[in-house]
Structure 1
Amino acid sequence: MRQITLSNGKTVEVECLSCAITSGVIEPDGGVIVETEHFHAHQDVAYPIKGLIILASKRHIFSFDELTEEEKLDYIHLLTKLRKAQREVLGIEYVYYFYNEDTTHHFHTWMVPRYDWMGDFGRSVESLRPVLLHARKERNTKEMVEDVLEGIRALAKAFNESSI
């Protein structure tokens, strides 16, 4: 079991955070954006950045080559719809996609939006870690968290109304 501190300050003890979230044991702040038979999309629970989506496999796997054909199709279809929603609903112009196989959690893709305030940290993948840490430490105010929650609600609404 590992102890993990969420962006809301709560600490959870789980073997796999992704499994706990996709199975409903832990509800991410703001709830689920959208889920399919194979995947679960939610706001990242560690970093309060509006529109920072985690697309996680419901099955406990670690890499692309473990996806079934059906999961591959579901993944790319949902990833595309999520990106469209980020652009149309939240006005996010640019996104970094990040996926790593040496994680302590299972297969998931981070969809990290780029905002103007992030420019101080650079414009490359190397800027992501400092951006994330800055968001957790300096942008975790009540107002900013409410903005993140509003983003989650707006994205979920777009998917529920099938406008995406």
Structure 2
Amino acid sequence: MRTITLSNGETVEVDCLSCALTSGKVEPEGGVIAETEHFHAHQDVAYPIRGLVIVASKRHIKGLDELTEEEQPDYITFIAKIRKAQREVLGIESVYYFYNEDTTHHFHLWMVPRYDWMYQFGRSVESVRPVLLHARKNEKDHTNVLESIRMLTEVLNE
């Protein structure tokens, strides 16, 4: 079991956070943004950044190469749909995508928006961790984050 601190400051004990989120055992702040048969999208539970979306497989796998032939097109189509909504609904012009296989969780993709305030930490991939930590420490009013979740949920579930 691992203890995870959510963006609202609450903690949960889980074996696998992605399994807990995709199964409904842990409710992400603001709820589920969208789902397909194989994937689940939610606001990142640890970092309160408007429009930061996690896409997790519903099946517990570790790597991209484990996606079935049925899951592969669902994955790319779902990501593209979310990205389009980020741009059109939230005005997010740039996104960093992160996926790693040496994680304690199962397969998931981070879609991290880039905002002007983030450039004080740099413009490269190395700037992302300080940005995330800054948001966790300093973002106490989640109103904008919750509103972005509502907006994305509305457009992605039409």
TM-score by length of structure 1 reads 0.95
The one-letter code of the counterpart of 2:147 is E
SS of 2:137's equivalent? helix
- Superposed displacement of residue 138, structure 1: 1.1
2:116 maps to amino acid? D
- Unmatched segments (≥5 aa) in structure 1: none
Question: Residues of 2 paired with 1:29 and 1:3: CA distance?
Answer: 17
| Letter in structure 2 aligned against 1:112 | V
Which residue, 141, 144, 150 being the options, matches 1:153? 150
2: CA distance between counterparts of 1:133 and 1:66? 31
- Matched residue pairs, number? 158
CA shift digits 1:22-73 (9 cap, x unpaired): 0000010000110011000000000000000000000000100000011111
- Identity of paired residues, percent? 75
Aligned structure 1 segments of 4 or more residues deviating by more than 6 angstroms? none
Residue 160 of structure 1, CA deviation: 2.0
Q: Deviations over 1:49-103 (max 9, x none)?
A: 0000000000000100000011111000000000000000000000000000000
SS at match of 1:117: helix
- What's the offset of the Cα at 1:157? 0.4
Which residue does 2:49 correspond to in 1?
49
Q: Which residue identity is paired with 1:63?
A: G
Q: Please tell me the residue identity of whatever aligns with 2:156.
A: F
The aligned residue for residue 29 of structure 1 is 29
Structure-to-structure mapping, 1:41-80, within 5 angstroms: 41-80=41-80
For residues 103 and 95 of structure 1, what CA distance do their matches in structure 2 show? 21
The residue matched to 2:28 in structure 1 has which SS?
Answer: coil
Matched residue of 2:96: which SS?
strand
Find the aligned partners of 2:105 and 2:90 in 1 and give their Cα distance.
27
* CA apart distance, 1:159: 1.4
Q: Could you tell me how far apart the structure 2 residues matched to 1:25 and 1:106 are?
A: 15
Structure 2 residues not aligned, in runs of 5+: none
How far apart are the structure 1 equivalents of 2:157 and 2:72? 23
CA distance in 2 between counterparts of 1:102 and 1:159 reads: 30
